[in-house]
Structure 1
Amino acid sequence: MKLPRLWRATGGGSPWPRRIVVLLVLAALVVAGFLLFPFAGNLVQDVRDKLSSPAPIGPVRTVASAEVPGHPVTAAVDGVTNRYWGAPAVGDWAEFGFDHPFRLLGVVIHTGASTNRADFDQQARPTALDLVITSSDGTTTTLPVSLADQPGPQRTDTGISDVVTIRVVIRGAAGLAPGRHIAFGEIEFFQRP
């Protein structure tokens, strides 16, 4: 009895079709790896960020475009919220320099003159700002940040590597009127240890 052709073993066929399929699959994997490599690096950094405990880092240099007498820019990074940096107007900025490049995980901003609601409302508060983050190679990243007009800490997650300076630029404020200035209670920076 003769078996149908599909059931017979094919012993003498050419190996080239199989080799071509294997080569095409390998080529597709190489191209996919090449195209997805930048995303893999970001994914690894994001996973490391999530698994680490953020550590505070303080600037070694602090300058501002303007400050109100009695409320210097250094008060924004002095570790307490009962003193504050007073900025006269929207558009003013403060820049913070660090002694070594680090991975910035986040920034915590305390707006207003105090955490006490009655004192908080005595001065204007920032509601919008830009974080202009400069890396060690000179690359800058600008992150727009919206802030609620309420006392207490407000966190912004970043995940940017090789940070050496951070400039905080005021883009909007609530409660700004003649005789009042914009109050920053505290600005905290957190790195990946």
Structure 2
Amino acid sequence: MVRPVEVNNPQDGPPCPVCGTPNRPERQFCRRCAARLRPAASVAPLPWWRTIWPFRRRVRVGSGRWPARIVAVLVVLALVLAAFLLVPVARSLFEDTKDKLGSANQVTPANVTASAEAPGHPAAAATDGLTNVYWGAPAIGDSLICTFATPFRLVGVVVHTGVSTEPQEFNRGARPTLADLQITSSTGRVDTRTLTFADKPGPQTFRMGISDVLSVRLIIRAAAGPVGEQPIALGEIEFFKRT
């Protein structure tokens, strides 16, 4: 709507961009046609990093396209890396839980050999189920190797050290106090566990939790008693699998 302009009320100032009527400099709207005398200030576009959150922000066309793609690629790489690292951990926890909830049965090696053995004390004596006979290792560093017909989940190892379960006989003989257990899987991976034996007769149990086991090698690292005068006696070693 156009309003009449009083003739006796002249005003000097910039003309209205719509109707050309002069207006005082402090006016915001034309006194005749009410058009805006000063254009609204344009708002500068936001940088790309200001558009990530919240999402409903006005942005210039193409703003943040390449940085956003880089961020997306980095997120995907982080997820792949996390999956690569966490999947084996999750599998290990799953298998460990199954070991605890399941039962275990003894598994007998298909073949038993040794790097060395004292006369009358062969390697097979360590897996014959008898504790009054033993494998005699002539020296520290000798090893016993047990191989199995099919891969299995090794959940535990029981070891009897010494020449006898009788304390007096046990103390008279040489017996291992420390050994390395090298466990080889069907894929060729080797896990090494260090076994520290209590210097006393009787069974000593060691928890394992290793899948696809095909062979186990026990290497004597330290011993007590008359080492060098008598062979180091390993009365029995037993292996248990998860069922």
Q: TM-score, normalised by structure 1?
A: 0.83
Return the alpha-carbon distance in structure 1 between the equivalents of residues 226 and 98 of structure 2. Answer: 41
Return the alpha-carbon distance in structure 2 between the equivalents of residues 192 and 92 of structure 1. Answer: 29
- Relative contact order, higher structure (CA 8 A, sep 6+): 1
> Counterpart in 1 of 2:218?
168
> Counterpart in 1 of 2:102?
52
Return the alpha-carbon distance in structure 2 between the equivalents of residues 47 and 98 of structure 1. Answer: 25
Of 55, 73, 76 in structure 2, the residue corresponding to residue 17 of structure 1 is 55
Deviation at 1:179, TM superposition (A): 2.3
Deviations 1:15-40 (A, max 9, x none): x728x9xx9xx979956555422211
Structure 1 residue runs of 5 or longer lacking an equivalent are 1-15
Return the alpha-carbon distance in structure 2 between the equivalents of residues 134 and 57 of structure 1. Answer: 16
Return the alpha-carbon distance in structure 2 between the equivalents of residues 81 and 35 of structure 1. Answer: 44
Aligned with 1:17: secondary structure? coil
Change over 3 Å in CA distance of 1:36–1:114 after alignment to 2: same
Return the alpha-carbon distance in structure 2 between the equivalents of residues 188 and 67 of structure 1. Answer: 19
Question: Between Structure 1 and Structure 2, whose CA radius of gyration is higher?
Answer: 2
In the alignment, is residue 81 of structure 1 matched against residue 131 of structure 2?
A: yes
Q: Structure 1 residue runs of 4+, over 6 Å off?
A: 26-29
Deviations 1:95-142 (A, max 9, x none): 000000001001110000010001111211100000010001111111
Return the alpha-carbon distance in structure 2 between the equivalents of residues 72 and 185 of structure 1. Answer: 11
In the alignment, is residue 104 of structure 1 matched against residue 154 of structure 2?
A: yes
Of 158, 165, 169 in structure 1, the residue corresponding to residue 208 of structure 2 is 158
Aligned with 1:121: secondary structure? helix
Return the alpha-carbon distance in structure 2 between the equivalents of residues 34 and 100 of structure 1. Answer: 29
In proportion to residue count, which structure has more strand? 1
Return the alpha-carbon distance in structure 1 between the equivalents of residues 90 and 77 of structure 2. Answer: 17
In the alignment, is residue 181 of structure 1 matched against residue 231 of structure 2?
A: yes
Aligned length: 174
Deviations 1:3-24 (A, max 9, x none): xxxxxxxxxxxxx728x9xx9x
Deviations 1:57-100 (A, max 9, x none): 01011110111111111010001111111111100001000000
What RMSD, in angstroms, separates the aligned Cα atoms of the two structures? 2.2
Return the alpha-carbon distance in structure 1 between the equivalents of residues 94 and 195 of structure 2. Answer: 25
Query: What percentage of residue pairs aligned between the two structures are identical?
Result: 51
